[in-house]
Amino acid sequence: MPQPRAAVILAAGLGTRMKSDLPKCAHAVAGRPMVQWAIDLARKSGADRIVTVHGRKSPQIAALGEAVGTETALQDPPLGTGHAVRAAEGALKGFDGDVIVLYGDTPLITPETVSRVFDALQGGASVAVLGFEPEDAAAYGRLIENAAGELERIVEFKDANAEERAVRLCNSGVMAGNAKLMFELLSEVTNDNANKEYYLTDVVGLARGRGLKAVAVRGDEAEVLGVNSRADLAEAEAAWQARKRAEVMKDGATLIAPDTVWFSHDTHIGRDVMIEPNVFFGPGVTVEDNAIIHGFSHLEGCIVRNGAHVGPFVRLRPAADIGPKAKVGNFVEVKKSTLGEGAKASHLSYIGDAEVGANANIGAGTITCNYDGFGKNKTVIGEGAFIGSNSSLVAPVTIGAGAYTGSGSVVTEDVPADALALARAKQANKEGWASRFRAAMTKRKGEG
């Protein structure tokens, strides 16, 4: 029977090569901090208990772990990977099952790969290590197997001889085993090495010394990319985006220029959606079936419902809800507002803290004046209302169903249903003024 599963997320490093005041594992890929990618991976892989290991100088990591419901453990001072795992021992006291060690700077590993590592334990191994065969093995630690295909030891590159360096199977750092056994073996690890650190890799040799079976599970090099610099972060982002674009198209959406579309970790795209070039999806976006997102649009924290059209050059901010078959056209910004079915804001408008009824039309240049310097106020536009171009709707205000506002109006009072609101200065025409003005100015210019 499968054993209960736990995970230890190692995220105590500051990442000095990132050149950042933010701890390395707090940097984001696809809008989610990398440490939370590891936590999500652990959950999707069946881990019921998760411990996030952080350092004294990285309280943000502890906060990110706690924010998504993990236990946390402090590694202080940092004395190597084995020491980091041992820091989680107290948090897992009494746990009887298998534990896997994951890393907060490795955001691309899939649950399927982690499941294969756990499966190796179910197949009789006491310790399982995730390995990979890169194009360039470089300075990775090597996984040395015996003739029977079992893992004998892990050798760091600097300690490897020529024969060992010729081995292509490299260590990803991910390791799993029975929790009780893992902590027993870790208690035997010494720091008798040049760096005076306690290495997790020594667990394999100690297990073999007890006559226990260790195995290497093959993984994909692209999954085990570790982020140590800004360049690595960009590479991880690019790899994740490529994976997400392929998934979205496989699920039935069209991306005209896939490489120009950027998704977030929680973007949901329905079937028969059309996404034009140069579109950015921030966190919290859902696009339902049959919608069209035109080019150069920026969406965040919003929902675009079935058959709606958005863009080009649209910004949808958090809590924007664009109803079925509604249209938000070029250079329109929508924030914390609902547009009903078939409503239109075709161009050059700001709609904030508003409720727009079905089939209402928002003319060009319209703004909802929602902020009075102290608080946000609501604008309600009824079904079928027609808002004339260049109208300013000073909230709180309600425009009744079927009502009109004259172009250029500044509306400060409620408008009844089916009424016409005119709120602008009376026009006065002064005959001949323009010709007299031009003559006077031409004479003045000549005299000057």
Please identify every residue annotated as catalytic.
Answer: 347
Distance CA 317, CA 333 (A): 7
Q: List Cα–Cα distances, 238 to 34, 246, 251, 259, in angstroms.
A: 14, 12, 20, 9
Q: Which residues of 224-343 form beta strands (DSSP E)?
A: 254-255, 261-262, 268-269, 274-275, 279-281, 286-287, 292-293, 298-299, 303-304, 309-310, 315-316, 321-322, 327-335, 338-339
Torsion angles phi and psi, residue 256, rounded to 5: -65, -45
Nearest to 55 by CA among 92, 80, 20, 90: 80
Strand, helix or coil at 249?
A: helix
Q: How many CA atoms lie within 13 A of 224 on its CB side?
A: 22
Q: Which amino acid would we find at residue 71?
A: E
Whether 38 and 11 have beta carbons less than 8 Å apart is answered as yes
Distance CA 31, CA 5 (A): 27
- Residues with Cβ < 8 Å from 89, sequence gap 6 or more? 183, 186
**Cα 304 from chain centroid (whole Å):** 19
Torsion angles phi and psi, residue 68, rounded to 5: -110, 20
Distance CA 217, CA 122 (A): 13
Distance CA 165, CA 184 (A): 30
Strand, helix or coil at 53?
A: strand
Distance CA 256, CA 117 (A): 38
Strand, helix or coil at 121?
A: helix
